[in-house]
Amino acid sequence: MCLALPGKVISIDESNPNLKTAKVNFNGVVKDVTVQWIDDLKVGDYVIVHVGFALNKIDEKEAIETFRIINEMVDLTKREGGE
């Protein structure tokens, strides 16, 4: 039930201040998503969506950082394990 998927924001509708929505593309399937709790949302951003609500924006920098950390750990452990 905590399933949440990433999708790309293709348009944002802020006409109702109590219910901000966006059209979000999930691999070709476009759905309406409530984005009420996402600050500074822009078209082209990725959001992670659960039961029709965006939980958070996906942080591109953090995504890259994760792979950097993984690479670093892999190297670090290679050194430790290898010698």
Partner 1 sequence: MKYVDEYRDAESVRLLSEKINSIITRNWNVMEICGGQTHTILKYRIEELLPPQITLIHGPGCPVCVTPIEMIDKAILLALRPDIILVSYGDMLRVPGSNSDLLEAKSKGGNVKMIYSPLDAIKIAEQNPDKKIVFFAVGFETTAPANAFTIFEAERRGLKNYFMLCSHVLVPPAIEILLKSEKNSINGILTAGHVCTVMGYEEYIPLAEKYKTPMVVTGFEPVDILSGLLMVIYQLENGNCFVENQYGRAVRKEGNIHSKKIISDVFEITDRKWRGIGLIPQSGLKIKSKYSHYDAEIVFNIDTTGFDESDICIAGEILQGLKKPGDCPAFRKECTPEIPLGAPMVSAEGACSAYYRYTK
Residues lying near partner 1 in the complex (CB under 8 A): 1-6, 8, 18-19, 26-27, 34, 36-39, 46, 48, 50-53, 55-56, 58-60, 62-63, 65-67, 69-70, 73-74, 77-78, 80-82
As measured in angstroms, the least distance from the Cβ of 28 to partner 1 is: 9
Neighbours of 38 (CB within 10 A): 20
Which residues are paired to 6 by β-bridges?
Answer: 48
Give the C-alpha separation, 21 to 54, whole Å: 9
Return the H-helix or E-strand segment holding 77. Answer: helix 60-82
As measured in angstroms, the least distance from the Cβ of 47 to partner 1 is: 9
As measured in angstroms, the least distance from the Cβ of 51 to partner 1 is: 5
